Homo-oligomer: A and B are copies of this chain.
């Protein structure tokens, strides 16, 4: 029985929803956006700023476009009026999230979506690796585009570019803060295309494997 399940996912693959279903099926705690708030409290940084810094690490234009932010590219991640260079500040945010993830994992069984949790826990000397189940969820591009348009209200005419770009940012964020490469199979116990069995079917397989292992 695996006690800590981390879910990395392509944008639009339904990975977050799948993680929530798995957590419900197993009676585990579920962490996603909540994590940001908890990390924020830890660091003393505002939650909105943590979210922006994390997502903004690679380039500003898409995120700014989507959220209507007025931050200029180049100072992406730095709040207006500050001169903080991006990396040290991003490191502060990452470290705050890292601490939070390690605390969460000590508290009890849980599902954690994104946030480099697979790396943070796998590389932590105090975490029992036998309790860990690292999952990567992906999906056919057309299904991801559909989901982005229908569920996340991404503009249809920009959807292909946005879906691809968000994944590049996720990869870039992961690769910036870890020794691993996002999506590299050696990191994960399971990589599943959610287009194959759908959201519920995919969640069912993960739950079953967590129970059997």
Contacts and interface: CB of A to CB of B under 8 A. Distances in A.
Interface of A: 133, 136, 138, 183, 185-186, 188-193, 195-197, 201, 205, 208-209, 212-213
Q: Which of the listed residues A138, A183, A190 has the most CB atoms from chain B within 10 Å of its own CB?
A: A190
> How many copies of this kind of chain does the complex include?
2
A196 B209 contact: yes
Nearest to A196: B189
A196 B212 CA distance: 10
B197 A188 contact: no
Contact of A196 (B136, B192, B213): B213
A9 to B, nearest CB: 12
A3 to B, nearest CB: 15
Contacts of A189: 192-193, 195-196
B190 A138 contact: no
Q: Which of the listed residues A185, A201, A209 has the most CB atoms from chain B within 10 Å of its own CB?
A: A185
